[in-house]
Amino acid sequence: EKPAASNFIRSIVEADLAAGKYAGRKWSGKPGPADQQKVGAGDTAAIRTRFPPEPNGYLHFGHAKSICLNFGLALDYNGACHLRFDDTNPEKEEQEYVDAIVDAVHWLGFEWGDNRYFASDYFQWMYDFAEKLIEAGHAYVDSQSAEEMRASRGTLTEPGKNSPYRVRTPAENLALFRSMRAGEFADGAHVLRAKIDMASGNINLRDPAIYRIRHATHHNTGDTWCIYPMYTYAHPIEDALENITHSICTLEFADQRPFYDWLLQRLAELGCVNTPLPQQIEFARLNLTYVVLSKRKLIQLVEEKHVAGWDDPRLPTLVGARRRGFTPEGFRRFAEMIGVAKSDSLIDMSVLEGCMRDHLGETAPRRVAVLDPLRLVIDNYPAGQEEWCEAPNHPQKPEWGKRPMPFSGELWIEREDFMETPAKGYFRLFPGNSVRLRYGYVVKCIGADRDASGNVVAVHCEYMPDSKSGTPGADNYKVKGNIHWVSAKHAYAAEVRLYDRLFAVATPGSGERDFLDDINPQSMTVITAQLEPALKDAKAEERFQFERHGYFVADRVDSKPGAPVFNRTVTLKDSWAA
């Protein structure tokens, strides 16, 4: 393994480690407030990062960037990375998503050991800390309507106005907050707000709401709570309770960092959380051409049945990528290649596809598949005869050996490898021309059969018995064309799905357009292909290069033993290049 590329986040981590910033930290082995972290012999992990998905959808390619970054840092700096389900929102969170997230992070190749957490397990601590903030005069219950609060927030150029309830005493606030918790009020009747500065230049510091009333059943805590912490309050506390050192998030949270720091500093002063405090670091989210990476849009594509489900191979979800045949290694290479930056950019899909192609090129055995079959008859091949040809499993890896492929007098070839009247520069089959049947014989085209409507239904050839590849006579034949084939009698006729990009334009839904109008109508073509017989035994998720075509995977859902179905992962060359 070569050393990982340097970037600004690594620089921060390395500087912190050099300064011994976390050397004296205590970590009891599980999350908790400061008074529960005083045991133990210090944190054995040099740094702690976390990947904190909200379990309200399937992970997508953008999440893969964050996963590779956070788990990668932990691996490179002898740290730990937590898998934390950020499930503080009682709505829209489901076990199905939790399971899918676990699978996806494992599939990408990362482990978290015992460090799997649910933010909702911290509700009691979050509540206790809120009471401490109230007692210290750092939070108050506001009883304005949502409308009034919005109106008094001010603008970028105008300061906000203090709420009339801002003068409530800690005792009044505490009593009200406890009544909120006890379920005495309807949703929206009151909120708990941090008491900071309504004139702050940063609107996020103008007394942000930190708790709201929500009479809703939570997937983990049931009906225990009818008040729930706001994300901006919950997230810094989750980080602190878990002794996170570097809390890495996307750029849109940069404006929240002053509140993140304010809150944790107050809680540290009150003895609630361990120090040194975690630090938030923002990086540019992944934006990719030809896909949408917003959960809302992905949900719409699935629910409105523009795709077959969350694992549709055309979707930029990790379950979709897996079915498509993309590899975890390819994602990790991609994450390393694009690096992390401090400003947003748009990465071309061909960069990701190139990473997959490179990895598959190294690891996928070669096989032969005829996707658009046309019959080829060798008129002078002895009737009923069969023999074996040998094909290398990987042209650059002789140690992978060769496999036998049956050869006979009737073969399948690609329809495009024959032209009755050849175009200029066409070196494949046309009457009078000779080509090599790759790994087999040289054949000369002598004609073609047509059906009543004039379509070519078979090509006739003669073979040269002394031209077989690998025999001494083979070198005597110099031909320009070299085409692939499978023996018709032995071939495995299989369903093959030719996937292409789901969207026809680089930035779906740009401007006023509805992103659904940019769907590529040709994103999937289902064909019956003729495959070399060995492919009949392919196991689900086995990946291959089909020579001259691209990379294919045995579908993990629809394949049956002895009857695999194949999905095209990527073509051999980037057909989308301008």
- The sign one gets for the Cα dihedral 396, 402, 407, 411 is negative
- Phi/psi at 301 (5° precision): -60, -40
* 301 labelled binding-site residue: no
Q: Name the one range near ligand ATP by CB under 6 A: 35-43, 58-66, 92-100, 429-437.
A: 58-66
- Residue type at position 445: C
Near ligand ATP in 252-311, by CB under 6 A: 285-286, 293-295
Tell me if 488 sits within 8 A of 437, measured CB to CB: no
| Closest by Cα among 342, 501, 263, 371 to 12 | 342
User: 275 is in the binding site of which of Mg ion, ligand ATP, none (Cβ under 5 to 8 A by kind)?
Assistant: none
Interface with ligand ATP (CB under 6 A), residue from 52, 236, 328, 409: 52
Task: Classify the phi-psi angles of 270: left when phi > 0, otherwise alpha if psi is within -120 to 50, otherwise beta.
Answer: alpha
| Residue 249 interacting with ligand ATP (CB under 6 A) | yes
Q: Which is nearer to ligand ATP, 130 or 286 (CB)?
A: 286
| Residue 545 interacting with ligand ATP (CB under 6 A) | no
DSSP codes of every residue in 87-136: --SSSS--HHHHHHHHHHHHHTT---TT-EEEGGGGHHHHHHHHHHHHHT
| Residue 63 interacting with ligand ATP (CB under 6 A) | yes
Distances (CA, A) of 86 to 117, 118, 209, 220, 261: 9, 6, 18, 12, 19
| Helical segments of 116-255, H only | 123-135, 146-151, 170-181, 231-241
Q: Which is nearer to Mg ion, 54 or 558 (CB)?
A: 54
Write down the least CB distance from residue 374 to ligand ATP, Å.
45
Q: Which is nearer to Mg ion, 54 or 121 (CB)?
A: 54
Label the pairing between strands 524-531 and 481-483.
unpaired
Residue 54 among the catalytic residues: yes
Q: Which is nearer to ligand ATP, 34 or 293 (CB)?
A: 293
* 231 labelled binding-site residue: yes
Out of 295, 323, 428, 497, the active site residue is 295
Q: Which is nearer to Mg ion, 127 or 231 (CB)?
A: 231
Tell me if 463 sits within 8 A of 441, measured CB to CB: yes
Q: Which is nearer to ligand ATP, 62 or 160 (CB)?
A: 62
* 294 labelled binding-site residue: yes
Through-space distance between the first and last CA atoms of the chain, rounded to whole angstroms: 34
Residue 295 among the catalytic residues: yes
* 52 labelled binding-site residue: no
How many angstroms separate the CA atoms of 398 and 388, rounded?
19
Q: Which is nearer to ligand ATP, 295 or 549 (CB)?
A: 295
Near Mg ion in 38-67, by CB under 5 A: 54
Interface with ligand ATP (CB under 6 A), residue from 33, 53, 278, 508: 53
Write down the least CB distance from residue 114 to ligand ATP, Å.
21
* 86 labelled binding-site residue: yes
User: 65 is in the binding site of which of ligand ATP, Mg ion, none (Cβ under 5 to 8 A by kind)?
Assistant: ligand ATP
Write down the least CB distance from residue 215 to Mg ion, Å.
23
In eight-state DSSP terms, residue 60 is B
Write down the least CB distance from residue 5 to ligand ATP, Å.
17
Q: Name the one range near ligand ATP by CB under 6 A: 48-56, 309-317, 441-449, 561-569.
A: 48-56
Write down the least CB distance from residue 294 to ligand ATP, Å.
5
Write down the least CB distance from residue 277 to ligand ATP, Å.
18
Burial class (CB in 10 A: 0-12, 13-18, 19+), 532: buried
| Residue 65 interacting with ligand ATP (CB under 6 A) | yes
User: 4 is in the binding site of which of ligand ATP, Mg ion, none (Cβ under 5 to 8 A by kind)?
Assistant: none
Burial pattern 218-250, b for ≥16 Cβ within 10 A else e, equals bbbbeeebbbbbbbbbbbbbbbbbbbbbbbbbe
Out of 10, 21, 26, 54, the active site residue is 54
> How far, rounded to the nearest angstrom, does the alpha carbon of residue 367 sit from its chain's CA centroid?
28
Near ligand ATP in 69-98, by CB under 6 A: 86
* 295 labelled binding-site residue: yes
- Residue type at position 266: R
Write down the least CB distance from residue 123 to Mg ion, Å.
18
| The total number of residues written for the chain in this structure | 578
Distances (CA, A) of 67 to 79, 123, 453: 14, 25, 57
| Residue 316 interacting with ligand ATP (CB under 6 A) | no
> How far, rounded to the nearest angstrom, does the alpha carbon of residue 146 sit from its chain's CA centroid?
37
Q: Which is nearer to Mg ion, 54 or 574 (CB)?
A: 54
Tell me if 427 sits within 8 A of 481, measured CB to CB: yes
Write down the least CB distance from residue 289 to Mg ion, Å.
17
> How far, rounded to the nearest angstrom, does the alpha carbon of residue 553 sit from its chain's CA centroid?
18
Give the three-class secondary structure for 50.
strand
| Residue 299 interacting with Mg ion (CB under 5 A) | no
User: 52 is in the binding site of which of Mg ion, ligand ATP, none (Cβ under 5 to 8 A by kind)?
Assistant: ligand ATP
H or E element that contains 438: none
**Which residue is closest to Mg ion by CB?**
54
How many angstroms separate the CA atoms of 234 and 39, rounded?
25
Q: How many residues bind ligand ATP (CB under 6 A)?
A: 15
| Residue 172 interacting with Mg ion (CB under 5 A) | no
In eight-state DSSP terms, residue 473 is G
Label the pairing between strands 410-414 and 373-378.
antiparallel
User: 531 is in the binding site of which of Mg ion, ligand ATP, none (Cβ under 5 to 8 A by kind)?
Assistant: none
User: 131 is in the binding site of which of Mg ion, ligand ATP, none (Cβ under 5 to 8 A by kind)?
Assistant: none
* 54 labelled binding-site residue: yes
Q: Which is nearer to Mg ion, 54 or 172 (CB)?
A: 54
Residue 285 among the catalytic residues: yes
Out of 21, 161, 285, 548, the active site residue is 285
H or E element that contains 324: helix 318-324
| Residues labelled as active-site residues | 54, 285, 295
Under the rule (CB under 5 A), what is the footprint of Mg ion? 54
Binding residues: 54-56, 86, 231, 250, 285-286, 293-295
Binding residues for ATP: 54-56, 250, 285-286, 293-295
Binding residues for L-glutamine: 86, 231
Under the rule (CB under 6 A), what is the footprint of ligand ATP? 52-54, 62-63, 65-66, 86, 249-250, 285-286, 293-295
